[in-house]
Structure 1
Amino acid sequence: MKRMMLMSMLAAGSFMFSTVGIAAERCCSSAADNLETDSVKMVEAVSAEQENIAVEVDANDAAQPKKVIVPEPSKDSDSVVQFGIWFNFPGYTKRNDVNGFRLGLPFSGTSAVSGFDLSLLGSHIRNLDGLQMSSLYSGTSGKSDGVQLSLGACLNNEVFNGVQVSLFNKGVVHRGWQVGLVNLDEQADGVQFSLVNVVDVLKGFHAGIVNVANRSMGPQIGIFNYAGRGSFQLGLFNVNTTSRMPFMLLFNFSK
């Protein structure tokens, strides 16, 4: 009887253990399947997000304007001798500075000249360090030093140190001598000698038929002299607005 009961208990325990093992195996298998499914879904989600980011980056790149890089024009070496036909023609008369001599028939180029610039009719160059000569017109656009000669006009757009001889001379700041029929400057630090001299600030000497200066820190000698504020005037008619006697014959002066 006891053996039968023992055998029954062993059989029941074996059955229960087998049932629990099968259930555990099924549970582990189900968990593994779920884990694999979740991993696949996560990988797919990450891939989709990366694709969306790539599309957004491409769209932003397409929306932004592309920068166009324009190469700077190359500058050729300086020339010892040049021949020009027109302003900037041939092209080397614009690209190449001159250290020597340039001839313009009828016009010269526009690059800088250190030496002698000779043209039949006219030339307007960047900078001058030397002599510029023409029959009608000589001009510079930058700071220059030297001598300008012309039958027509000499024009300067910046500081000019030297001598100008022409019928009409015009500049911004002139330091040196100007000789002609008409001299016109913003500031003259030197000598102006002509029939008519007109300057805003005179830090030199006026000699002519008519001399006009807004501020004169040097003498004016002529037939008619006018100064908004002048130091000394010698002429037939003298107007000095800051003098005790604004109008005087023969001479006038003020502090």
Structure 2
Amino acid sequence: MHRPRLGGKLLTSWNPTTSKADFVVSKDGSGTHKTINDAVAAVARIGNNRRPRVIIYVKEGVYNEKVDIDKNLKNIMLVGDGMDKTIVTGNRNVPDGSTTYGSATFGVSGDGFWARDVTFVNTAGPHKHQAVALRVSSDHSVFYRCSIKGYQDSLFLHSLRQFYRDCHIHGTVDYIIGDASAVLQNCDIFVKRPMDHQSNMVTAQGRDDPNENTGISIMESRVRPAPDFDSVKHLFKSYLGRPWKKYSRTVFMKTDLD
């Protein structure tokens, strides 16, 4: 399984005070755009004349938007002001008419997408069942110091090669799901309180062909109860995963279980 490099240190070294972004999103109007969607649309308008790596800096704030990075928008880097400071939020869910795929607050299809210091949230709640915070089908995508928060299907690892480093992932049922080739390294995986009749399932990997080079690898990470679950965790069953499809494949390696 290929693990993408962190972008020749661009992703880890970029600094909002000393580095230059192509587009700046700020709710107070101090940037080039007030919404993430407007900045993404501006990238699309540039067409083939855009730089090899386009940087969108999203300043601190709560952005209630449904964002989709189209497959034609490749090599975008999204940078925020910090985990739980730059927040993209939504509440779409299956019972209210979305598909699982379409419920994502933030969806990425363009290859080479990188994100850092951003929180992606779906606030639909456990009673709304499938409600995705982040859906990724971007090859060589990298998420660094990001937080993904939801309940069921929080992080949809839809397809292709993906890498997550120093991220926080929150949920209850099947909240790391999909059929990508995904590596999660040094991540904190938080188990939240489910509905009273539910059990927690951290992963649900969707490999349905024995020849597929897909799977979820979780390494040097931590699985632990979220604050809302810690005092009642003895009342529920929690599992590291379930086989969503026939050839499901998930590995936990050098990972602490609390």
Q: Which has the higher strand share?
A: 1
Identify the structure with bigger relative contact order (alpha carbons < 8 Å, sequence gap 6+).
Answer: 2
TM bucket normalised to smaller:
0.3 to 0.5
Q: Which has the higher helix share?
A: 1
Larger Cα-atom Rg: 1
TM-score by length of 2: 0.40
TM-score by length of 1: 0.40
